[in-house]
Amino acid sequence: MDLLSVAVKTRGADAYVAYASSRDADMRYMTHFTTSDPFVFFKKPGERGIIIVSQMEIGRASREATAAVMTRAQAGLPDILKTEKDPYRATAKMIAGQVGKKILVPPDFPIALANILSEYCTILVDKETVRSMRAKKSKNEILLMKNVQKATEKAMGLAISLIKKASVKKGILYVDKKPLTAEYIKFSMHNLLLQYGCAAVDTIVSCGEETAIPHMTGTGPLKSGEPIVIDLFPVEEKSGYYADMTRTVVKGEPSTEIREMYTALHEAKRFGISRVKAGVSGADIHQAVVDFFKDKGYESNSRGFVHNLGHGVGLQVHELPTVGPAGKPLVSGNVITIEPGLYYPGIGGVRLEDIGVVIKDGFENFTVFPEELIV
């Protein structure tokens, strides 16, 4: 019996119910159907899941969805609307008519709908069954993510080539007689990614003291002799799967502090990767890198190494499992990042990030992009 059916039976429920659009990663995972409008998914133990969609979507849903498909009319919504004009209450009555008296819902189930649905059903909240299912990737999912990573590395290569070929005038990088900006680097990478069916948002190209703030996206002209952190995490639009990688480079001569931080960082990433294998907890791997940095003279928490060592990647760029203090034992098939970083206000920050899959006795790294501080 599948894990979702087991969760439903264990809680004594009649069905699992979700209501969301395919922008919700759990819904996309369970149905393989993509639409911007919310729709209903329900699954009873041991049975195939069913989605309820509008008549407009029936043709496409029948082709794409892995779940069985039912129209709202087949679920009785038009008859309900004859006497019930409130759309939430009508939808709740439609769902209740299909799923039984006790249902299991995801933690982000819409509260307005849940409040009304609770008049017809007992509602139980499931914390992370589907998210745990998503964390263990199939061979096909792994192949999809490897392909996204290939496109990611092409975009990263373009960004670094622009930095490498730039000239320097009064400490500012120039390309084609114009200042080379973070915005132009992002535009160039995003434009290239579109050619591979991928899209990216919130890409980080930060420079100088901005790099001391891990998720500062960066703006303005790039400077010579200063660290430039490039963190790129595109999604393949057709499949919905992400990749994630980070590199730090300097055009010119970095400060002694940045050079030493980068050397420690490079070693820390290799050390962290060497600790990865099925059965080892994300918490233990993270702590091992904390201890590694401590031995090198770098603190953790508010300065130095300030974030988790890594995270799961899939239909979301941040998902289970956690490679940090709350991390649980890893299993074969987990796709994770290993991304140590060091950050010091007034000096700057450095970060390196690879992505790969946990296997029985190690880590299959998808990332083959070089690591060179000075370009």
- The residue-averaged pLDDT of 130-159 equals 98
354-359 vs 335-338, strand pairing mode: antiparallel
Do 56 and 10 share a domain, yes or no? Answer: yes
Do 54 and 26 share a domain, yes or no? Answer: yes
- Amino acid 130: pLDDT: 97
Per-residue H/E/C for 123-189: EEECCCHHHHHHHECCHHHHHHHHHHHHHHHHHHHHHHHHHHHCEEECCEEEECCEECEHHHHHHHH
- pLDDT exceeds cutoff 90 at 348: yes
Do 65 and 124 share a domain, yes or no? Answer: yes
Q: What is the DSSP letter of 196?
A: T
**In-domain check, residue 375:** no
Residue 43 in tokens: 């699954």
- Amino acid 247: pLDDT: 98
Q: Which domain holds residue 27?
A: 3-134
Q: Which residue, 108, 134, 160, sits at the end of a domain?
A: 134
Concatenating the DSSP letter of every residue in 79-108 gives HHHTT---HHHHHHHHHHHHH-SEEEE-TT
- Amino acid 22: pLDDT: 86
- The residue-averaged pLDDT of 63-82 equals 95
What is the Cα–Cα distance from 94 to 105, expressed in whole angstroms?
16
Residue 300 in tokens: 């953790």
**In-domain check, residue 319:** yes
Q: Which residue, 79, 113, 134, sits at the end of a domain?
A: 134
Cβ neighbours of residue 188 closer than 8 Å, sequence gap 6 or more = 158, 159, 162
CATH number, position 105? 3.40.350.10
CATH number, position 327? 3.90.230.10
Beta bridge partners of 341: 351
- Amino acid 1: pLDDT: 76
Share of the chain above pLDDT 70, in %: 100
What's the number of domains the chain is made of? 2
**In-domain check, residue 373:** no
Asked if 216 contacts 230 with a C-beta cutoff of 8 angstroms, the reply is: no
**In-domain check, residue 371:** no
Do 218 and 329 share a domain, yes or no? Answer: yes
Q: What's the mean pLDDT when you consider all of the chain?
A: 97
Do 89 and 213 share a domain, yes or no? Answer: no
Residue 164 in tokens: 């490498």
- pLDDT exceeds cutoff 80 at 21: yes
Do 106 and 153 share a domain, yes or no? Answer: no
**In-domain check, residue 372:** no
| Number of neighbouring beta carbons within 10 Å of residue 143 | 12
- Amino acid 12: pLDDT: 96
**In-domain check, residue 370:** no
pLDDT tens-place string over residues 219-267:
999 999 999 999 999 999 999 999 999 999 999 999 999 999 999 999 9
Do 183 and 89 share a domain, yes or no? Answer: no
Task: Pinpoint the alpha helices (H) of the chain.
Answer: 3-10, 25-31, 58-64, 77-81, 87-99, 111-117, 129-135, 139-165, 182-194, 256-275, 282-295
Do 325 and 219 share a domain, yes or no? Answer: yes
